[in-house]
Structure 1
Amino acid sequence: METSELLKKVRQIEIKTRGLSNNIFAGQYHSAFKGRGMAFSEVREYQFGDDTRDIDWKVTARYVRPYVKVFEEERELTVMLLIDVSGSKDFGTVSQMKRDVTTEIAATLAFSAIQNNDKIGVIFFSDKIEKFIPPQKGRRHILYIIRELIDFRPDDRQTDINQALKYLTNAIKKRCTAFLLSDFIDHGNYHDALTIANRKHDIVAIQVYDRRETELPAVGLMKVRDAETGQERWIDSSSKRVREAYRTWWDKRQAEMNAAFQKSRIDAVSIRTEDDYVKALLALFDKRN
């Protein structure tokens, strides 16, 4: 993409997604995603009803009367975006490709993060780690991320979510909130990696998919190509049996994915390319409150 065209696209996405994060997500994001925990603030004299486990015994001994530690919630978060950039993201049949919708969602989350004074970083992945952007703050950093979201082209085209989750666990030492944005078309098993990553971090899964992926149109003989492997084959979509077999495959894959989220205790939302992702994200935020 030419530099002038890229900058124009960056500006368009900034205007749209920053407006969404300012006007819609400000309060919901703040309350839905908590800080790392409770940080020590000060000590004060013990009052009736205080938890005895909070007594500061050193200060109590010094003043010969009980004092307790007072804690405050740590608000600042580190937010990571795990972005699937595999070949299957270059697909869309209604209004936008999956890659475009993912870019807008990621940018909206990024602006929501910096509005809350959080750090934001990105891991681009295919079947390997394509690029790691360490978490930072500030508008310039966000614009760099948006630029990469629009213009980044991966070396590989297949998907390995397992690899991305392992990298997150190793690269980010302190607890973070990680949004995993993918269509979850992955022939490997990422279920155990989800559970392990969610023990250390707060993982949120966002599936972006296209309506045409859920069912075949009855248009007769058609050539289909796997965007990740490059394999091609002819199928007869006029056959009801073929269409039903495809739909069964899709439903089974979705059920397995949702079961993995449930087992790992991960909050998740599925968004079609034609859907209003604002409503979907707000519903996700509300579920966490």
Structure 2
Amino acid sequence: MKELLKKVRQIEIKTKRLTNNLFMGEYQSSFKGRGMVFSEVRPYQYGDDVRNIDWNKTAHFSEPYVKVFEEERELTLMLLVDVSASQNFGTRKQLKKQTVAEICATLAFSAMANNDKVGLLLYSDQVELYLPPSKGKFQALRIIRELVEYEPKNAKTDLNAALDFLLSTQKRKSICFILSDFTDINYEKSLRIAARKHELTGIRVYDEKEEFLPNIGLANIIDNETGEMRMINTSSASVRRNYEQFYRRVRDQFLNIFSKSGAGTIEIRTDQDYIKALLAYFKSNHAA
């Protein structure tokens, strides 16, 4: 427990400083006030948008009535985090799951500073843990603790399970970040449906050795999600080429599916500065 608290505190100190110094303004300008919520129904006035006419009230009172909406000042941020076994990989600075924890902490503290709710959903090929959205520092610290401490029950990945759960629990529009390496298949339909209701962004976290296979001769390669082990000859140019082609297929699939669904994308390598990538995304998101 002492070691756990130390890890949580280290992440808190690092990410809170980044949030306060660099991040807060971009988070706020990117998302604050994006949502619109129903306020009231009133008689139609000249200049009102006819698309907002409430036809039931109009028929009842025999005169036009319109629905009035106002900006939603309180947002809900949902973090959907892949905890499958492929996250336990890293060859340079840190494991993928450690980078994911820091990114989530940065986003959670941004939401906290903006007085927004933040929730957490951990998933493998099933929903492993759900923390309903809530405000405050205690919630942010609990999210960090779960990301550091949680031991997944299953090793495989199925984003569909997480997206279905999101739709069943979050009835109002939320800002949703999905953090994964996206070595998954057949999630396009679920993502498209979820993107109609929520503002989705996929954050693909990867390691440089997933992109390029080093030439180190014969090596045992283990698939963390299936436990399968194979010996391959990394000196073979065709083996390295096939490895790189697989990586590109995973990456292209991620970018294409999210783009077609109208969702945003961020790509972050474990040994690179994730704050720069987040800031660039938020600036472009705000400009759009």
* TM-score normalised per structure 1: 0.89
Q: What runs of 5+ residues in structure 1 fail to find an aligned partner?
A: 59-67
Taking a change above 3 Å as real, the CA distance of residues 70 and 159 of structure 1, as seen in their structure-2 partners, is closer
Instruction: Give the distance between the partners of 2:49 and 2:201, measured in 1 at CA.
Output: 35
Matches within 5 A, 1:125-144: 125-144=123-142
Shift of 1:175: 1.1
Indicate which of 183, 201, 207 corresponds to 1:210: 207
Counterpart contact for 1:119–1:136, Cα < 8 Å: yes
Which residue number corresponds to residue 19 of structure 1?
A: 17
1:265 partnered with 2:275: no
Instruction: Give the distance between the partners of 2:233 and 2:158, measured in 1 at CA.
Output: 30
Secondary structure class of the residue paired with 2:148: helix
RMSD (Å), alpha carbons:
2.4
Shift of 1:229: 0.5
Amino acid across the alignment from 1:9: K
Taking a change above 3 Å as real, the CA distance of residues 125 and 52 of structure 1, as seen in their structure-2 partners, is closer
Shift of 1:38: 4.7
Shift of 1:222: 0.5
Q: What runs of 5+ residues in structure 2 fail to find an aligned partner?
A: 58-65
Taking a change above 3 Å as real, the CA distance of residues 282 and 41 of structure 1, as seen in their structure-2 partners, is farther
Instruction: Give the distance between the partners of 1:179 and 1:159, measured in 2 at CA.
Output: 17
1:278 partnered with 2:282: no
State how many pairs are aligned: 276
Instruction: Give the distance between the partners of 2:169 and 2:193, measured in 1 at CA.
Output: 14
Matches within 5 A, 1:75-224: 75-186=73-184, 188-224=185-221
Which residue number corresponds to residue 62 of structure 1?
A: none
Counterpart contact for 1:42–1:71, Cα < 8 Å: no
Shift of 1:196: 0.4
Taking a change above 3 Å as real, the CA distance of residues 167 and 55 of structure 1, as seen in their structure-2 partners, is closer
Shift of 1:69: 8.7
Shift of 1:42: 11
Which residue number corresponds to residue 63 of structure 2?
A: none
Counterpart contact for 1:32–1:288, Cα < 8 Å: yes
Instruction: Give the distance between the partners of 1:19 and 1:74, measured in 2 at CA.
Output: 28
Amino acid across the alignment from 1:196: I
Instruction: Give the distance between the partners of 2:168 and 2:274, measured in 1 at CA.
Output: 31
Amino acid across the alignment from 1:127: D
Instruction: Give the distance between the partners of 1:71 and 1:257, measured in 2 at CA.
Output: 35
Which residue number corresponds to residue 235 of structure 1?
A: 232
Counterpart contact for 1:41–1:72, Cα < 8 Å: no
Instruction: Give the distance between the partners of 1:268 and 1:256, measured in 2 at CA.
Output: 12
Following TM superposition, the consecutive aligned residue runs of length 4 or more in structure 1 with deviations greater than 4 angstroms are 52-56, 68-71
Which residue number corresponds to residue 61 of structure 2?
A: none
Shift of 1:162: 1.1
Taking a change above 3 Å as real, the CA distance of residues 240 and 20 of structure 1, as seen in their structure-2 partners, is same
Which residue number corresponds to residue 62 of structure 2?
A: none
